[in-house]
Structure 1
Amino acid sequence: MKAIVCNAWGLPDTLVVEDQPDAVPGPGQIAIDIRAAGVNFPDVLIIQNKYQFKPSLPFIPGSELAGVVLSVGEGVTQYKAGDQVIAFSAQGAFAQQIVVPAQAVMPMPAGMDFDIAAAITLTYGTSHHAVVDRAQLKAGETMLVLGAAGGVGLAAIEIGKALGARVIAAASTDEKLAICRAHGADATINYSTEDLRVAIKAATDGKGPDVIYDPVGGIYAEPAFRSIGWRGRYLVVGFANGEIPKLPLNLTLLKGASLVGVFWGEFAKREPKANLAAMRQLMGWLADGTIKPHISGRYALADTAQALNDMAARKVTGKVVIQPYK
């Protein structure tokens, strides 16, 4: 089978396509023929050794996938060859085949295509954990989403609307904001052309948002946090801007506000039952049309570096996927 391999830390163009041994499962494992793999911003950081998760070289990047079970190892009884499944793995998804633990696999809902299935776990899992679990967003509250046209941003918008909240989307272009409105945003802010604090004040009648969802970091974090409402919850999701902001902690005192960390991968590992319940809710919302993943690009395995470069350059809206046999 063919796979994308990271042999040395570096930018996406250093990745290579290599032949690898076919997947053979051990006890408690499942071998999967990968039909689609989701691309996420952490993938850009992991190959540069700039992420919390630091695999040993060489490795195959990519963490979420959908495909067909090839074979199962000893002790695996809940799946069989031919089953269509979704899986999340620390690494190995940018390939034609993978071996994963059985507990990292879930059935793919009937009628779902592989591209959509591969776009669910990380982005929607992260946003569900952030909005539902960490922020405890309630119906009638207001949530501001920064970087709202990205994968986790669009997921946060849809989840916020599913909970009955009012959602304000902030992004860098009018084209991106149009996509946010199509996914349910009630109001939008172009922070490339508008003063963020002034725009937030206008959009919330001066009260500030109850929840701020921030996967961006950088220069927008402080003005956003200065605009948060009383008892607001500021979700620290990531730093796509590349800069980790330094916030004056007196702001938490003045607003009675909370800084809330969001690390879905660790949550999924430490609290698997809670994560499984979240995934079941997401699958239900997907089945009834409450959430609709936005796939903006599909790339062949050989074009994985281009997919990651596009992600790094913020050319991506929603999700892009790798199709290993394209």
Structure 2
Amino acid sequence: MPSKPSSGFKLDLPARPRRLRRNASVRALVEETVLRPADFIAPLFVIDGKGAPEPIASMPGVARFNVADLVRECRALWKLGVPAVALFPKIDARLKDPSGSIALDEDALVLRAVRAVKKALPGLVVMTDIALDPYTSHGHDGLLSDDGREVLNDATVEVLAKMAVLHARAGVDFVAPSDMMDGRIAAIRKALDAEGFDQTAIMAYSSKFASAYYGPFRDAVGSAKAAGTSLLDKRTYQLNPANRREAIAEAIIDEGEGADILMVKPAGPYLDIIRDVREVTRKPLAAYQVSGEYAQLHAAAKLGWLDLERTSMESVLAIKRAGADMILTYFAKTLAVRLKA
């Protein structure tokens, strides 16, 4: 049995790091990474009609809003200090076709939502997704070849540039291309500038991986089973999760093509990529804490395995510590409430 240390025992230590952890005030004084509501972008889902919000089963606490309720949700976020929202539409399946033609409708759902939100809250930053997957009957982010085996790059980019102009015309502050087609940032920048929208900014999904963490989001926008499968294979355009250097190269390309903000998606499983990109650019860097990251914390908390309040805060803190300037997260509202308390 070990003997008790004598009361006079003293280590000769010039450095005692615990001095800086001895009480809450000292810990606050030396805290290196600080979260604020202003760090968050809230992803929001919008549906047509006037019905009540539709809860998304795989994303507890998240719902699809009609336009009027969407505006109310944006007001609540604005009051909490959340400065930005990213809008994603769920399109009626009857309006979808292989080319996603409804994406170029000047009265498309997301454009009506943008106009309503900007009218009610001119100061709120509104971002919109520029990709075809919510609109195509097959669920891919682009146009398909005649045999359906290939997602066409250049033809898709042509449509995305037109789509970006429509969104700028509706009043968005940022268009956010999430498709991962080659050359789309340059094409969108050129199209926006040609139409006089030189102040409309681009947040590029620069390092977007072909991740298994997107499942609940695809349920939310109705693209998960569009092609008769629960998992669309997007590996010909989204990044290989095994590739680190490729992710950095994509970010550098997007910066060179005129992106105003770069993004890494997903966030939590790719903290190393966030840090890598942070070190090669001076551009603002966003990271997307995706639906699967959100859902897994809720699922573990429901089973009593994790403390949801603490793990949600810690997960987002880790993303910011890795180097993200802003974070798209479904925890935006709940975290903002706690940070303002």
TM-score, normalisation: structure 1: 0.29
TM-score, normalisation: structure 2: 0.28
The structure richer in helix per residue is 2
